[in-house]
Amino acid sequence: MKEIKGGVCAAEGFTAGGIRCGIKKGNSQKKDLALIYSLKPCIVSAMFTTNKVQAACIQVSKENISDRKLRAVIVNSGNANACTGDEGLAAAKRMAHLASNVLEVDAKDVAVASTGVIGVPLPIEVIEKNINALKASLRDDETGNADALEAIMTTDTRKKEIAVEIEIDGKAVRIGAMAKGSGMIHPNMATMLCFITTDAAIDAAALEKSLNSAVKHSFNRLTVDGDTSTNDMVLIMANGEAGNKILTESDVDFSTFNKALEYVCIYLTRLMARDGEGATKLVTVTVTGASDDFIAEKLAKSAASSSLVKTACFGADANWGRVLCAMGYAGVDFNAEKTTVNFKSKAGTIKVCQDGKSISFSEEKAKEILSEEEIEICISLEDGRGSAEVWGCDLTYDYVKINGDYRS
């Protein structure tokens, strides 16, 4: 497997574009409308938010992918089109219709995604006015990918994209992806917007299985602030342009595809954690030696989600007691008296807790380790062979600043 350029346009037969149509407020010249389009029919699989309050786009997209076929996704930023009632639903349907019209495909073959402020009517008229310009922005190269990526961002400060190439059945197969997301992110669902393209030929069941597994080990192990959005969506389109024999679950090459897709998803997950709203640090929490993977994941998530652990990471304070405390309210059993905690970064590794108790360590060295931009909290138990890796970030002044007056 090698990393390649081009994001969602890296896979053969995919185009993307993005423009500014005026949904984002103020004098901003930021793009806010994106389109990803496959020249050929695609098999699709997707995962959506588990929030009971679901944006209109989620309802429309769920329906439109139900036949597992898709050609395009239209995405706006600056407005979530959530809590907008029947008018919002009509607007989301209209978005799909407008895109299908200019692309000359069936409206049922277009998925819709929105991200931004909740409860404000979506100005569908500016989308309508700019739909031809959106189509005209489609490119099959890095430019198209970059334009679309810019148009799906909200409070993101970093671009999140990746593409990889693998070989399946003697053919070069590409997987490309873009994601947005920095706040309102919490495990247990498709937790932001992520659009993945691949030119692999793969059957619908295999694609779904591969996506579910990759999301379970990546986006569902990401936590920024404990809030689960009304709009989140991870969607993969596969158009078969690589020309490989159609991949099924029983093929030996299926695991090659799985690994590549998981690599792509974990890569984007780490970028999102690193770009958590206001975050200065990527915090990885690993648990090993748990009774099973489920318990390991629960313990790691609890530590990564704790506001007290997160603020300690911000302050580079080796307050390991908060880590044990957060594990203690995770709601699962573990042997606290056999818990070891190490803090790790490129500046080194330091053991701060053994057998659930304090051990003497250099506060100075610990501070140095925790002052790095990527830090790891390594928890080891003696309960079994379960393990999990979870990603989060620190909690900072800027998180409060960004969210204290988001709508203005």
Burial 184-193 (b: 16+ CB within 10 A, else e): bbbbebbbbb
Among 90, 325, 347, 378, binds its own copies (CB under 8 A): 325
Binding residues with its own copies: total (CB under 8 A) = 67
**364 is a site residue for its own copies (CB under 8 A):** no
Binders of its own copies among residues 209 to 248 (CB under 8 A) are 225-230
Task: Provide the pairing of β-strand 340-345 with 14-19.
Answer: unpaired
Residues 383 and 52: their CA atoms lie apart, in Å, by 36
Among 56, 113, 120, 290, indicate the residue that binds its own copies (CB under 8 A). 120
Residue of 154, 191, 223, 339 marked catalytic: 191
The contact pattern for its own copies, residues 55-84, with x = CB under 8 A and - = no contact, is: -------------------------x-xxx
**Pairing assessment for the beta strands 33-48 and 69-79 based on DSSP bridges:** antiparallel
* Contact letters for its own copies, residues 179-198 (x by CB under 8 A): ----xx-x------------
Residue 89 token pair: 């639903």
Residues 6+ apart with CB under 8 A from 85: none
Residue 2 neighbours by CB distance under 10 Å: 9
> Would strands 282-290 and 374-380 be described as parallel, antiparallel, or unpaired?
parallel
User: What's the farthest any 2 CA atoms get from each other in the chain?
Assistant: 69
- Nearer to its own copies by Cβ, of 170 and 404: the residue is 404
The number of C-alpha atoms within 13 Å of 246 and in the hemisphere containing its C-beta is 9
- Closest CB 232 distance from its own copies, rounded Å: 11
Sole binder of its own copies in the list 353, 379, 381, 390 (CB under 8 A): 353
For this structure, is 191 an active site residue?
yes
Among 14, 48, 257, 314, binds its own copies (CB under 8 A): 314
- Minimum CB distance to its own copies, residue 306 (Å): 6
Q: How many CB atoms lie within 10 A of CB 332?
A: 16
Q: What is residue 234's three-state secondary structure?
A: strand
Side-chain-facing half-sphere of 108: CA atoms under 13 Å: 6
Neighbour tally for 86: CB within 10 Å: 8
Q: Out of 320, 376, 387, 390, which residue is the one contacting its own copies (CB under 8 A)? A: 320
Out of 248, 333, 346, 385, the only residue in the binding site for its own copies (CB under 8 A) is: 333
Catalytic residue numbers?
Answer: 191
Which residues here bind its own copies, judged by CB under 8 A? 50-54, 80, 82-85, 88, 117-121, 183-184, 186, 225-230, 305-308, 311-312, 314-315, 317-322, 324-330, 333-334, 336-337, 353, 355-358, 395-397, 399-401, 403-408
